[in-house]
Each structure stands twice: as C-alpha cells, then as structure tokens.
Amino acid sequence: IQITSLVNLTATASSILLFLSLTPCSPSHLQVAELYCSACECALCEDCMLGHQEHPKVPLSQALEQHRSSLQERLGAIQNRLPQISDSLSFIREILQQLTNQRASIEEDIQSSFEDLHKQLDVRKSVLLMELEVTYGLKQKVLQAQVDCLARGEGDLMASCTQTEEALAGEACVASLQLEQELQERLGELAGLGLPCQPEENDQLDLLMETDGLRKSIHNLGTIVTTSAVASQSEAMGAGLEQCIVGLPASVTIVTRDKSGGACKSGNAILSAEVFTPDGSIVDGEILDHKNGTYEFVYTVPKEGDFSLALRLYDQHIKGSPFKLTGAKRRGKSPGQKKKGSKRASSALGTPRRKTQNPIEDDLIFRIGTKGRNKGEFTNLQGVAASSSGRILIADSNNQCVQIFSNEGEFKSRFGVRGRSPGQMQRPTGVAVHPSGDIIIADYDNKWVSIFSSEGKFKGKLGSGRLMGPKGVSVDQNGHVIVVDNKACTVFIFQPTGKLITKFGSRGTGDKQFAGPHFAAVNKNNEIIVTDFHNHSVKVFTPEGELVLKFGSNGEGNGQFNAPTGVAVDINGNIIVADWGNSRIQVFDGSGSFLSYINTSADPLYGPQGLSLTSDGHVVVADSGNHCFKVYRYLQ
C-alpha cells in the first residue's frame, strides 16, 4: 500500500529505488544529502525529499553516528563470542583427535587379540594332531604286534603241516620213524600253542569337536562400545541431588541423552561423579550402570555440611552440574534417646572419638603434601604402595599421575605420561609394586591396569575390555596381579602378561559377593584380603576365590567400620584397615579379632584411602580429604 501511494506521489523511478534502498538516493545526489529518513532508513537530498514529507527525519551526521555505534556494538558482541568459539573449536578438535587415537588403539587391540586367538587355535591344533599321533601309535603297536605274532604262528603251523604231509606221502619205513616221531611231538606242541586270536585293540579313532558354541561365541566376539550421549543434554534427578543424611546412602539418577535430547538406551557411557566439601574432594560413591541409558550414583557423606556434586559425562558437566548438597545429621537412633535432655542427646549424636582407649601417644611420624597440582602436592590421592627398595608410591588420581617418595618422605619423581600417548592415565586409584620392580596402576576411568617400569616408562596394560572400574591392585606370592574391580564387584587375578588366571565375585550380599570392594592385600598364605566398602566388612579369600573369613559390621565401635578402604598385612599376618567414614586406622589379628587403633588423634585423618606398610615397618596412608599422606609408627 505504501509503495503504491508513493508511486502516485512521485512518479520517478529513482524515488522508488530510493525508498527500497538503505543507501543515498543515488550516487550523484550524495554531496547534497544532509537529512536522514528514520522511517525508511535512508539518506535524503533535496531532490528526493518529496516522498518523505510525512516521515521523521534527523540530520544525516547524527544518523551516521548512530549507525556507526550500533555497528560497533554488534562487532563487539561478535568479537566477544570469538574466544568462546575458538575454545570450543580446540576442544572439539581435541575430542576428534582423541576419537581418532582411540580408533588406532582399538584397532591394535583387535589385531593383537585375534592374533592371540589364532595362535591359541594353532596351538590347540598341534596338540590335537599330536594326540592323534600318539593314540594311533599305541593302538597300532598293539595290533601290529598281534599281527606279527599270528603271522609267525601261522607260518610255523603251515611249515609243520607241509612237512608232515610230505612225510605221510612217503613209504612208511623204519628210516622215517625217527622223523615222524619228531613231527608228532612238534604237531603236539603246535596244537597246544596259545595264539592271540582275539583282537587286543579296536579301531576306534573318532574326533569329537563341539564347535557350535564356539562358533556362536566367535560370531559375537567383541563389541565396539560407545553411546551418543552428550553432557549438555543429559540430566540428573533424585533426592540425593539436594539433601543427604550423614552415614546413609543417597541416590541420584542420571539420564543420558543425545545431541537432540533423545534418551540414550544403552549403557557404558563414561560418567564420573565427585562430591566435594568446600576444602576438597573426599566423598566416595559408586556409579551403577543400569545399561539402559540411566545410571545411579550412590554416595554417603561422612559428616554434615555443604557439599557440591560434580557429575561429568565424558569429562564435561551435565545439565545443572555442579549441584549443591546439604549433608544433614541422622535422627536419634532409638526413640528412647529423644527423651533424654537435649544436651545429652547432642553429645550422643556428636562424633565420639575414642581418645582414651588406646594408651599410646599419637603415632604420626610425618605428613607430606597439600592440595595442588605440583610435585609433592595432591588432588584426591587414592592408592598407596611401598616398595622393598624404600620407596612410597602414591596414586594421585585427579592429577593423573603417580608420585614417588623415599621412606623419609622426600619427593623423588612422578610420572603419568602427559599428552595422548597410550600410557596416559585417566584416574589412577590403585598402585602396587611387582617383585620385578614394575609399577602396576589401576586406572579407574581407563578401565584397565597399566604397567610401568620402575622409571615410569609405560610397558603395557592388562584387563582392557574386561574391567569396568578397577580401584585397587595388589600382587600375590606368585607375582600374579590381583585387581579389585569396584564397579563389577569382582576380583580378577592376572598373569603379568595379561592372561586371566581366575576371577570371582559379583554384586550382592552373598558369601562370595561384594557391595563395593575397594582395595586388596595378600597374606603369607597367599590369601586375598578385600575391603568391602558398602558392606562395611573385610573378606578373606583363598586364591581360588573361596571365602575363608569375613569380619566387621557397620558402626563406630571397636572392630566396626564405616566403609573400609585401604588394607595391608604385616609379617605376622595382622591386618591393618583404613576405616574411611570413621577416619581411623584399625589393626586386627589374622582371624579378624580387633587388636588396636593407630593413634591418629593429634592430626585427625579425613577420609583415608589406600594404606600400606613401608619397608622400614611404618604404616603409610593416603589421607585423601586432607590431600596428604601420613606415615605412622606401627608397633606390632
């Protein structure tokens, strides 16, 4: 409508052009332009004023100024986005690179696994062929001997028969009497001769080879595991997102979604959950993979206060993460308690630290470390090992490295392989030293166990594709590697070459089951001692996986636990256990009877994790919540 009315007003084509354009009416008019029509957003000159009589106008210079500044603003806004985009670009490039590396590494794994299988098939083939040869040989020998024997007998008989027939064909005379007598005797002998006429062997040689099951297994052998879940779409829900009761498990459900918000239906996404207090990470929990795209994170806070929960999917915060949590006190345990005076009730609920039961002085010799990323600093240290050569090794999980100290606490070295090489650790939680000197690392997030030389050179990995969440490692009397798979609730025993010897355990409350195993130690009888975090107990197994002994229950009394973690055995078979939720260290004899505490009262522990005995007979413990390790006198 506007256009038509305009055409009526000014019949010139240039005006139409001017109206539709944001530029001056025409290049030739440029010099005289000095007004700007705000309605039509164009510059005007005297000539083209006609069409704009009713329109608001401003001086051109002012309009130009405004144009400039709004342009500048837009530029600024876009420029502000650039760093973010460039960050994203490099991050996504990194993911792409990692994906490519992962492909190469898996390709290698597939190649070597199948080469291995080929080798094993070839070995079996040789064994079978050999067995065939031996079995055939034995049977053949028996039958051949029988054939030889019978043939000889047959020959003898035939010869005697011929001779006798010849003799009988001649005249009967005195001269032949002698010979005939001899023949008589001979035939008598031959008649009585026992010949092996019944077969002494049979001809059975069959091959029984059940290949159907194997074929089926091979048909489905190996799976490429991944999801299309992305952090930005995935979300968490559940009561455990806001509040939790001290000492009781709280639960959060995580639903993974793909880039367009569709629910993922398969499990195995790489998800991590960490609960932090304002001063560092200390709370442990477990992630259960429901294998249908949802996951459950169950955790227990050891004390009241404000916590923050970081839920990361493929290393990135999911929607709304980190979440703020409040840890509240448990209600009175028995109804009777409420009736008591409020003072008494609160003291009953307060943390009673048994300061008077252990008559010895505080046993601390020294502590090393603070929270940080540098040498001798830690972020959420977990496993601890001690070597016979006087070294203390610390699995510094969030710093993705292992740090090595002398027995005296002097920093020696650290390693973790920075970058993207195959030896890069993701979350080292367990560490052990093999008699060969090699260092064995349980890598929770990589889901394998890495082997490094004593100098920290990556040598290989084991359990890849089998392990779901290895937390602790240990080495038995035969040099076998014991791996505690926390997620799978299974203990694996490997040759250092990676060959699986045996495994036992599953999730549950049965005798050979676990509710969340963390660390293991091996005693002189080569028995495996496992701490079961969520069952609040310590379990001892034969190397074959038979339960020998179980001790501990939930509580704060002597010999009770609130989530046991690190464990070690001394030369007398006494068992030393880090009691995570009670923040203390207990000592038991080999039959599980409580002996004593290590006196940690002067400088209290805060969520102790791994624990080990040093070569000079001290106890070293990862004081995870205090981001340091501590070395104690140990009087046994």
**CB 313: neighbour CB atoms within 10 A?**
25
Identify the CA nearest to 533 among candidates 556, 552, 547, 511. Answer: 552
Among 294, 308, 379, 596, binds ligand NAG (CB under 6 A): 294
Among 118, 119, 152, 290, binds ligand NAG (CB under 6 A): 290
Contact in structure between 328 and 304 (CB atoms under 8 Å): yes
Of 1-9, 234-242, 354-362, 622-630: span binding ligand NAG (CB under 6 A): 354-362
- Which of residues 120 and 509 has its CB atom nearest to ligand NAG in the complex? 509
Angle at 49 between CA 46 and CA 52, to 5 degrees: 160
Q: Supply the minimum distance, in Å, between the C-beta of residue 603 and ligand NAG.
A: 9
Q: Which residues of 105-128 are buried (b: 16+ CB within 10 A; e: fewer)?
A: eeeeeeeeeeeeeeeeeeeeeeee
In the region spanning residues 527 to 546, those forming contacts with ligand NAG, defined by CB under 6 A, are 534-535, 537
In the region spanning residues 70 to 109, those forming contacts with ligand NAG, defined by CB under 6 A, are none
CA distance 183 to 187: 6
**Chain-centre distance of CA 157, in angstroms?**
80
Contact between 21 and ligand NAG by CB under 6 A: the answer reads no
**How many of the chain's residues bind ligand NAG (CB under 6 A)?**
19
Of 28-36, 356-364, 400-408, 616-624: span binding ligand NAG (CB under 6 A): 356-364
Tokens representing residue 497 in the block: 């070459």
Of 46-54, 355-363, 443-451, 567-575: span binding ligand NAG (CB under 6 A): 355-363
- Which of residues 41 and 511 has its CB atom nearest to ligand NAG in the complex? 511
Among 132, 172, 360, 635, binds ligand NAG (CB under 6 A): 360
Among 111, 226, 292, 572, binds ligand NAG (CB under 6 A): 292
- Amino acid type, 542: T
**Residue-wise DSSP of 230-278:** EEEEEEEESGGGTEEETTS-EEEEEEEE-TTSPBP------EEEEEEET
Contact between 268 and ligand NAG by CB under 6 A: the answer reads no
- Which of residues 44 and 577 has its CB atom nearest to ligand NAG in the complex? 577
Among 47, 180, 235, 362, binds ligand NAG (CB under 6 A): 362
All residues at 6 or more sequence positions from 614 whose CB lies less than 8 Å from its CB, including other chains: 386, 390, 392, 407, 620, 631
Q: Supply the minimum distance, in Å, between the C-beta of residue 589 and ligand NAG.
A: 19
**CA atoms within 13 A of residue 517's CA, in its CB half-sphere:** 34
CA distance 364 to 630: 7
- Which of residues 427 and 534 has its CB atom nearest to ligand NAG in the complex? 534
Among 21, 146, 358, 379, binds ligand NAG (CB under 6 A): 358
Contact between 595 and ligand NAG by CB under 6 A: the answer reads no
Contact between 352 and ligand NAG by CB under 6 A: the answer reads no
- Which of residues 447 and 534 has its CB atom nearest to ligand NAG in the complex? 534
CA distance 432 to 420: 24
Of 69-77, 287-295, 452-460, 618-626: span binding ligand NAG (CB under 6 A): 287-295
Give the three-state DSSP class for 335: helix
**CA atoms within 13 A of residue 184's CA, in its CB half-sphere:** 6
Helix (H) or strand (E) holding 467: none
- Which of residues 41 and 361 has its CB atom nearest to ligand NAG in the complex? 361
- Which of residues 153 and 249 has its CB atom nearest to ligand NAG in the complex? 249
Backbone Cα Rg of the chain: 42
Contact between 234 and ligand NAG by CB under 6 A: the answer reads no
**CB 77: neighbour CB atoms within 10 A?**
9
Torsion, Cα 139 141 146 148, to 10 degrees, reads 150
Helix (H) or strand (E) holding 83: helix 60-169
- Contact pattern from residue 298 through residue 337 relative to ligand NAG, giving x for each residue in contact according to CB under 6 A and a dash for the rest: ----------------------------------------
- Which of residues 432 and 528 has its CB atom nearest to ligand NAG in the complex? 528
- Which of residues 335 and 352 has its CB atom nearest to ligand NAG in the complex? 352
Tokens representing residue 119 in the block: 């080798």
Contact between 599 and ligand NAG by CB under 6 A: the answer reads yes
CA distance 25 to 44: 6
Of 34-42, 198-206, 314-322, 357-365: span binding ligand NAG (CB under 6 A): 357-365
In the region spanning residues 543 to 582, those forming contacts with ligand NAG, defined by CB under 6 A, are 550
CA distance 143 to 145: 5
Among 194, 350, 359, 419, binds ligand NAG (CB under 6 A): 359
Q: Which residue is nearest to ligand NAG (CB)?
A: 362
Q: What are the CA-CA distances from residue 585 to residues 17, 198, 477 (Å)?
A: 88, 77, 25
- Contact pattern from residue 34 through residue 53 relative to ligand NAG, giving x for each residue in contact according to CB under 6 A and a dash for the rest: --------------------
Among 355, 419, 455, 497, binds ligand NAG (CB under 6 A): 355
- Residue 111 dihedral angles phi and psi, to the nearest 5°: -55, -50
Q: Supply the minimum distance, in Å, between the C-beta of residue 361 and ligand NAG.
A: 4
- Which of residues 207 and 602 has its CB atom nearest to ligand NAG in the complex? 602
Contact between 235 and ligand NAG by CB under 6 A: the answer reads no
Tokens representing residue 418 in the block: 């920075």
Torsion, Cα 608 612 618 621, to 10 degrees, reads -20
Helix (H) or strand (E) holding 107: helix 60-169
Q: Supply the minimum distance, in Å, between the C-beta of residue 636 and ligand NAG.
A: 16
Of 177-185, 242-250, 448-456, 596-604: span binding ligand NAG (CB under 6 A): 596-604
Q: Supply the minimum distance, in Å, between the C-beta of residue 288 and ligand NAG.
A: 8
Among 361, 408, 544, 589, binds ligand NAG (CB under 6 A): 361
- Which of residues 343 and 355 has its CB atom nearest to ligand NAG in the complex? 355
Interface contacts to ligand NAG, rule CB under 6 A: 290, 292, 294, 355, 357-362, 509, 515, 534-535, 537, 550, 599, 601-602
